[in-house]
Amino acid sequence: MLPPILSNLRVPVVAAPMFIVSGPDLVIAQCKAGIVGSFPALNARERDGEPPLLDAWLTRIQEELDRHNQANPDNPAAPFAVNQIVHRSNARLERDIEICHRHRVPIWITSLGARPEVNAAAHDCGGIALHDVINATFARKALEKGADGLIAVAAGAGGHAGPQSPFALVQEIRGFFDGPLLLSGAIATGRAVLAAQAMGADLAYVGSPFIATEEANAVTDYKRMIVESGAEDIVYTPVFTGIAGNYLKPSIRSAGMDPDALDASHGEGMDFGKSAGKAKAWSQIWGSGQGIGAVREVVPAAALVERLAREYAQARQALLER
Ligand SMILES: Cc1cc2nc3c(=O)[nH]c(=O)nc-3n(C[C@H](O)[C@H](O)[C@H](O)COP(=O)(O)O)c2cc1C
């Protein structure tokens, strides 16, 4: 059974948080279109001495969604989620948890580390905590530490993807967990959303297709590269951050490297304390999952959600008629 907060979406999709790319404009558009919108807390970076930008972003998101709900009582916005990177280099974690708790953030997504106190903070303000995992061992650990649901990050996902087949991952996790399960990795059509459910997931977790939307915080060349590229243009490598992830080969070439001959000397290691501008991976080397062959144009986020919903309904009907 899905908790009420994850039920009643326009299509069973949670938009995945993306470093640099996801900000308030994208989140508000995703939620208004009827799917869970999300962003990493670390994307809200104020200059030294300025008040926390995360506070301002959360106020804006909540006010705009409240206004939408008052004007559209029959078509309310979906809830939003904030992603916390639970990594030792994230020096802001405690502060960001306090801000999210104060704003009563409804859905907390944790990655790169499971900590009971983050889950406790989510629960204390009435929220739920979803933790992303790349294998069954991490899945069990996350549940022991109090996560309410899991995000299975399979091979082909954008960002720090796992190495496992989505079938293997979902099958194994479903062997010991019957709670909320999201599947992440290369899901870019409504048909694939339905396939994720057929495999045993409750919801699809969709990232890279939202890079090619008008509201995404990405330069035009990045959006165009998503539209023009396919799975063969993606390379899976640990060299840029120390953790294996998927990147667009043409962006690596533009940065003067050969994506087919990368070695450790090209990397910088992972440090979430750095400003986004300095972090070479993500700002110059662009991340993407393998599913982008299905992305044909840059559109408003609402149009992408509509496409997913239409394709999902058609795929369901076609299967029923078979
Ligand atoms: C450019 C980019 C940045 C990402 N940044 C984050 C992040 O900051 N935190 C996180 O939990 N996941 C991050 N991810 C992973 C996504 O949340 C999600 O797992 C993934 O995008 C899903 O696969 P897909 O891109 O094939 O749809 C990122 C993915 C991309 C493409």
Give the ligand 1 atom nearest the CA of 111. Answer: 11
CATH number for the domain formed by residue range(s) 4-218+290-321: 3.20.20.70
Closest CA to 248 of 196, 272, 212: 212
Pairing of strands 234-237, 245-248: antiparallel
Where are the chain's structural domains? 4-218+290-321
Q: How confident is the model at residue 269, as a pLDDT? A: 57
Q: What number does the ligand 1 atom closest to the CA of 151 have?
A: 19
The residue among 57, 56, 296, 78 whose CA lies nearest residue 189 is: 296
Alpha helices in the chain (DSSP H): 24-33, 53-71, 93-102, 116-124, 136-144, 166-174, 190-199, 220-228, 249-254, 280-283, 301-321
The reported pLDDT for the residue numbered 268 is 59
Contacts 24+ apart (CB under 8 A), 126-134: 128/3, 128/5, 128/6, 128/180, 130/81, 130/180, 130/182, 132/184, 133/162, 133/173, 134/160, 134/161, 134/162, 134/163, 134/164, 134/169
Instruction: Give, to the nearest 10 degrees, the angle between helix 301-321 and helix 24-33.
Output: 40
Q: How many angstroms is it from 211 CA to the middle of ligand 1?
A: 10
Residues framing ligand 1 (Cβ under 6 A): 16-19, 21, 40, 83, 111, 132, 153, 157-159, 184-187, 205-208, 287-289, 291
Phi, psi (rounded to 5 degrees) for 13: -135, 135
What pTM was estimated for this model as a whole? 0.95
In angstroms, rounded to a whole number, what is the distance separating the alpha carbons of residues 21 and 127?
24
pLDDT value, residue 263: 80
Report CA(222)–ligand 1 centroid distance (Å). Answer: 15
Whose CA is closest to atom 6 on ligand 1?
Answer: 18
Per residue of the chain (322 residues), what is the pLDDT tens digit? 899 999 999 999 999 999 999 999 999 999 999 999 999 999 999 999 999 999 999 999 999 999 999 999 999 999 999 999 998 888 999 999 999 999 999 999 999 888 899 999 999 999 999 999 999 999 999 999 999 999 999 999 999 999 999 999 999 999 999 999 999 999 999 999 999 999 999 999 999 999 999 999 999 999 999 999 999 999 999 999 888 999 999 999 999 999 999 886 666 555 555 544 434 667 789 999 999 999 999 999 999 999 999 999 999 999 999 9
Report the C-alpha gap between 286 and 220 in whole angstroms: 12
Ligand 1 nearest atom to the CA of residue 208, by list position: 25
Per the structure block, which two tokens stand in for 69?
A: 């709900």
Cα 262 versus chain centre, distance: 26
Rounded distance from Cα 249 to ligand 1 centre (Å) = 17
Nearest to 185 by CA among 214, 164, 212: 164
Report CA(320)–ligand 1 centroid distance (Å): 33
272 CA distance to ligand 1 centroid (A)?
15
Number of the ligand 1 atom closest to the C-alpha atom of 184: 22
pLDDT at position 241: 85
Question: Which among 19, 43, 82, 85 is the best mutation to test ligand 1's pocket, defined by most ligand atoms within 8 Å of the CB?
Answer: 19
Contacts of 1 (CB under 8 A, 6+ apart): none
Cα(171) to centroid of ligand 1, in Å?
22
